[in-house]
Copies of this chain bind each other. A is one copy, B any other.
Amino acid sequence: MSEAESSAQRAGNAAGASRGQGGVNGEGDVLGVVGELEALARIIPRLPSSEAAVLGPGDDAAVLAAPDSRYVVTTDMMIHGPDFRLAWSSMHDLGFKAAATNLSDVAAMGARPTALVIALAAPADTPLVDLEALADGLRDACVELAPGCGVVGGDLSVSPTLTIAVTAFGDLEGRDAVRRDGARVGDVIAVSGPLGRAARGLALLFERAVDDDGAPDAGAAARLRSEHPDAVSAQLAPRPPIADGVAAALAGATAMLDLSDGLALDARRIALASGVSLDLDAAAVCMAAGVDASLLPSVIVGGEDHSLLATFPPATAPGQSLPGGFRVIGRVVKPGGDGPALLVSGRVFSPRGGWDSFDEWTGDLG
């Protein structure tokens, strides 16, 4: 963590709050009172170290190893309001999801995630125990999904809006990056990880994790999560199949994407970038998603699964098994007269397909 800008400490001091009024390392300590340095002293020991770190946190910058002279970089931000409700997500969930969604972007290049840097901004009255829980979520995501990956630096600030910006790094281990533009006619289309589950979780939350006035309700969310743990957790703390990114690359994947915006929208991205059409098999998609045909539309447009969508040379299947958790859900075909498109069982799928989350996600706080 860089000490460069002690804006947390500044804001706390500016508020005229006196040091330690929350008790000595007590439960009541909040970010704006203890300041950035003490907060970091409590957070950093909870974070996993990176096996790629040549020089870890504590200087102006970290130094990371890039054994094959290249590295993969992606960044993504989660913001209170547009991206999450505090009545539904625990701080541990937020840390877990912030790491997982960035790790899946690294994995979707066929790379092994090596390290994260975290820029975290939280309201001055944020309890330090909440920041510790967020750090634990980051740690648990790294340990569970990408062993050896750790946090090599960051920045901690005060902001009225809880904001988590993660930048993630990966190692291609000598392989070519798996881009979105390499799908070829005849390739099989396959997916690893859930399909439509995170969107089902979100729909459940909007329908049932609210009080009588429709406002997000923490108690209702907890009950819902115990009744539908898979769907709700897929939304709040997704567990993408990170290791399958490298497995797909090793198996010769020709194109790959992280399914963040829904199968329809992301499959169309591969089609357009590659100059081919992608034909999804409706029955195979339902089987891969574990749902019956009536739920097909929601599975095809549901976003935020962060599963991996990849195309593989035809020799890879059938008969020959796909790597890891990948299941065949379609085939790459020649584009029709209207150019590259997404098809479902041979019929062109509406260009409006995809995760138009404005139907579900209002941007209000809660």
Query: Which 7 pairs from chain A and chain B are nearest by CB?
Result: A13-B358, A66-B66, A61-B74, A165-B165, A7-B82, A161-B161, A60-B108
Specify which of B9, B61, B109, B157 is in contact with A60 (CB 8 Å cutoff). B109
Determine if A2 and B105 form an interchain contact, defined as CB atoms under 8 angstroms apart.
Answer: yes
Determine if B77 and A61 form an interchain contact, defined as CB atoms under 8 angstroms apart.
Answer: no
Determine if B4 and A165 form an interchain contact, defined as CB atoms under 8 angstroms apart.
Answer: no
Given A61-B73, A63-B70, A121-B77, does the pair A157, B11 have CB atoms closer than 8 Å? no
A15 within 8 A of B: yes
What is the distance, in angstroms, from A259's C-beta to the closest C-beta of chain B?
Answer: 10
Given A76-B119, A121-B77, A177-B55, does the pair A157, B83 have CB atoms closer than 8 Å? yes
Cβ contacts A244-259/B at 8 Å (1 or 0 each) = 0000000000001110
Contacts of A351 in B (CB 8 A): none
Determine if B66 and A71 form an interchain contact, defined as CB atoms under 8 angstroms apart.
Answer: yes
Contacts of A158 in B (CB 8 A): 79, 82, 363
Contacts of A75 in B (CB 8 A): 2, 117-119, 153-155, 165, 167
Given A65-B69, A70-B63, A165-B119, does the pair A4, B82 have CB atoms closer than 8 Å? no
Binding site for B on A (CB under 8 A): 2-7, 9-11, 13-15, 54-55, 59-77, 79, 81-83, 101, 105-106, 108-109, 111, 115, 117-119, 121, 124, 152-155, 157-161, 163, 165, 167-170, 172, 177, 179-180, 256-258, 260-261, 269, 356-358, 361-363
In the bound complex, what is the Cα–Cα distance between A14 and B206 (angstroms)?
15
Determine if B170 and A167 form an interchain contact, defined as CB atoms under 8 angstroms apart.
Answer: no
In the bound complex, what is the Cα–Cα distance between A115 and B167 (angstroms)?
13
Determine if A159 and B157 form an interchain contact, defined as CB atoms under 8 angstroms apart.
Answer: no
Closest to A74 in B: B61
What is the distance, in angstroms, from A193's C-beta to the closest C-beta of chain B?
Answer: 14
Interface of A is mostly: mixed
Contacts of A62 in B (CB 8 A): 72-74
What is the distance, in angstroms, from A249's C-beta to the closest C-beta of chain B?
Answer: 13
Contacts of A63 in B (CB 8 A): 70-73, 109, 172, 177
Q: Could you write out 28 A-B pairs with CB less than 8 Å apart?
A: A2-B74, A3-B261, A4-B76, A7-B363, A11-B81, A11-B363, A55-B177, A59-B179, A60-B105, A60-B108, A60-B257, A61-B106, A62-B74, A63-B72, A66-B66, A71-B71, A73-B167, A75-B119, A75-B153, A75-B165, A77-B157, A79-B158, A79-B159, A81-B159, A83-B157, A119-B165, A159-B161, A167-B167
* Residue among A76, A258, A361 having the largest count of chain B Cβ atoms under 10 Å: A76
In the bound complex, what is the Cα–Cα distance between A70 and B169 (angstroms)?
12
Beyond the given A9-B358, A158-B363, please list 9 additional residue pairs across the A-B interface where CB-CB is below 8 A. Answer: A7-B363, A13-B356, A55-B179, A60-B105, A64-B70, A64-B71, A68-B69, A73-B169, A77-B157
Contacts of A180 in B (CB 8 A): 59-60
* Residue among A70, A155, A159, A177 having the largest count of chain B Cβ atoms under 10 Å: A159
Contacts of A261 in B (CB 8 A): 3-6
Closest to A356 in B: B13
* Residue among A14, A172, A257, A363 having the largest count of chain B Cβ atoms under 10 Å: A363
Determine if B4 and A258 form an interchain contact, defined as CB atoms under 8 angstroms apart.
Answer: yes
Contacts of A106 in B (CB 8 A): 60-61
Specify which of B65, B73, B160 is in contact with A160 (CB 8 Å cutoff). B160
